[in-house]
Structure 1
Amino acid sequence: MDELPDWLPGWCLDHLGGEPAEVLFRLESISVVYGLRLTGGTDVVVKSRPGDGRAGACVTAQARLAERGFPCARPVTPVTGVGSLAVHAEEFRPGGDMLRGDTPDVAVRYAEVFARLMGELATVTVEPPLPNPRWSRWDHTDPGIWPSIGFLDARDQSVVPAYLVDTATRARKRLLAADLPCVLGHADFEAQNLRWHGVEVWTVHDWDSLAWQPEAALAGAASGAFASDGPPFLASIESSEAFLAAYQDFRGRAFTAVELEVAWAASLWAAGHNARWEALHGTPPLSLDTLRAQAAERLRRANALL
């Protein structure tokens, strides 16, 4: 309790009607997430993240899906500003198991959820949540191949392998060459962000990671990332292929040849971001190793060899 930020008890009292009595959990990535039991006995989750203008649209979209019965936590407050932070609360939705595995049959189960999610978001109208999350921000206008991220750019870039830079460059060139409309979609569709009860999905988390990119690109990124149950890695080509085929079936329309190329290119860009992170931080090379093994074939399918 003494490690809670000074602003949090008063914010909870003002917006939720009670102060924190117990900390159930605390998680920190880009956002800081607190699971709290309030003085009245209610359990809630409070999320804070840098106020970059994205949060309002993300929370509004999440609320719309929750109202329709989509398996996600229901926001219980709007986004409010606390200094430089954007803060909101949502219901606590515990339980469920992670679905692990990188096989085509697991890929199909994830593709079904992603297709349902994208279908629901297609009927939601919000301001595009821009800028896109950095791992899906290939459309940036910053100098160089990667979007400008100060704490990453400050590190020694010479440790990033040349093959990784070349792969990301080719994938980005293919993505930028496509003239496809952007839609709202989940850009961090990883195993660690979903929980299941048997064969039924129970909760999809991390709605902060909505993005505004072509549908095929969002599906392609998800086809490469879905199996990540901890540190991210790139799924097998066979499983990504199964994901994309199933996604098209569940959505009821086939991708064009250009959309398929964009999907494969997007799978490489997201993996490239993760591989660059590993290289810059010296962490185990999960994405680096899988990207090195698969880059040539994924680039071929993306029509991004030159």
Structure 2
Amino acid sequence: MDELPAWLPAWCLDQLGGEPTEVLFRSEQISMVFGLRLTNATEAVVKARADDGRAVSCVAAQARLAERGFPCARPLTPVVGAGSLAVHAEQLRPGGDVVHGDSPDVAVRYAKVFARLMAELAGVTVPPPLPNPRWVRWDHSDPGLWPAIDVLDDLDQSAVPAYVVDTAERARRRLLAAALPCVLGHADFEAQNLRWHGRDVWTVHDWDSLAWQPEAALVGAASGVFARGTGQPTLAPIESSEAFLVAYQGARGRAFTAVEQEVAWAASLWPAAHNARWEVLHGQPTVCGDALRAQAAQRLRRAGLRADE
């Protein structure tokens, strides 16, 4: 309790009618997340992140899905600023298990949930939550290959392997060349962000990570990242990404065009390249980097790119 931000008790009292009496959990990555019990017996999750203009749309979309019965936490407040932070509270939705694994069978389970999620979001109209999350921000307008991210750009870029840069450049060219309409979708569809009761999904978390990109690109990114349950990000095996893409199209009742297929495979590479860059710049084990080295050539071929392109 002594380590809570100074603004948080007053914010909770104003927005939720009580002050924190117990910290149920907390985490801090891009956002600060606090699971709290309040003096009025309310249990809530308070999320705070730098106000980059995305939060209002993300919370509004999450609220619409919760109203429709989609398995996600219901927002309890709108986005209310605290200094330079965008803050909101949502329902505490505990329980459920993480389904681990990167097999094609596991991929199919996740793909069917992603298809349901995307179908629900297709009926939601909010201002696009831009800029897109940094790990899928291949569509940035910053100079150079990578989006501007101070915590990465200030480090020694010579440490990034040439194959990571080359893969990112080629995948990005393919993605930017496709003239596909953008839709609303979840851009951090990792196993750690879902909880299950048996075969049924119980909760999808992390609605701060909505993005505005072509459907095929969102699906492709999810097909690569879904397997991360704990630890560092990873890249799923190619056969599992393929099973994800096939199952998604089946669940949505629409086959991707040839262009969409290529875009999906190109998009599967960008988060892995971003994560491989992050690993070496921060001196971490090269989990994504090793997977990218092994799979990049085949994924690029499926994206319609020859070795000399």
TM-score in terms of structure 2 length: 0.98
CA deviation vs aligned residue, 1:228-282 (integer Å, no higher than 9, x gap): 1121100000000000000000000000000000000000011111111001101
- d(CA) in 2 for partners of 1:304 and 1:84? 43
Task: State the Cα distance separating 1:143 from its structure 2 match.
Answer: 1.0
Name 2:132's counterpart in structure 1.
Answer: 132
Aligned counterpart, 1:293: 294
Q: Take 2:253 and 2:272, find their aligned partners in 1: how far apart are those partners?
A: 27
RMSD of aligned Cα (Å): 0.5
Aligned counterparts of 1:206 and 1:77: Cα–Cα separation in 2: 16
Cα distance in structure 2, aligned partners of 1:3 and 1:135: 29
Q: CA deviation at 1:304?
A: 2.3
Partner of 1:156: 156
Aligned pairs for 1:1-306 (under 5 A) are 1-230=1-230, 231-305=232-306, 306=309
How far, CA to CA, are the matches of 2:217 and 2:66 in structure 1? 24
The amino acid across from 1:122 in the alignment is A
Structure 1 residue 150, shift from structure 2 partner = 1.1
> How far does residue 37 in structure 1 lie from its aligned partner after superposition?
0.3
Quote the Cα distance in structure 1 between the aligned partners of 2:61 and 2:42.
24
Cα distance in 2 between the residues matched to 1:159 and 1:229? 27
SS in 1 for 2:87: strand
User: Could you tell which deviates more after superposition, 121-130 or 276-285?
Assistant: 276-285
Deviation per CA, 1:57-92: give whole Å up to 9, x if none: 000000000001100000000001111000000000
- Cα separation, 2, equivalents of 1:86 and 1:34: 14
Secondary structure of the residue aligned to 1:294 is helix
Q: Which amino acid aligns with 1:284?
A: P
Partner Cα distance (1:286, 1:151) in 2? 20
Determine helix, strand or coil for the equivalent of 1:267.
helix
User: Residues 88-133 of structure 1, C-alpha deviation per residue, up to 9 Å, x if partnerless?
Assistant: 0000001100000010110000000000000000000000000000
Q: Secondary structure at the match of 2:201?
A: strand
Count of aligned pairs between the two proteins: 306
Q: Which stretch of structure 1 is more off in the superposition, 270-279 or 112-121?
A: 270-279
Structure 1 segments of 4+ aligned residues over 6 angstroms from their partners = none
* Helix, strand or coil at the partner of 1:2: coil
Unaligned runs of 5+ in 2: none
Distance 1:40 1:244 in 2: 46
SS of the equivalent of 1:167 reads helix
* Separation in 2, partners of 1:133, 1:221: 12
Alignment partners' CA distance in 2, 1:173 and 1:76: 41
Matches of 2:43 and 2:81 in 1, distance apart? 22
Shift of 1:284: 1.1
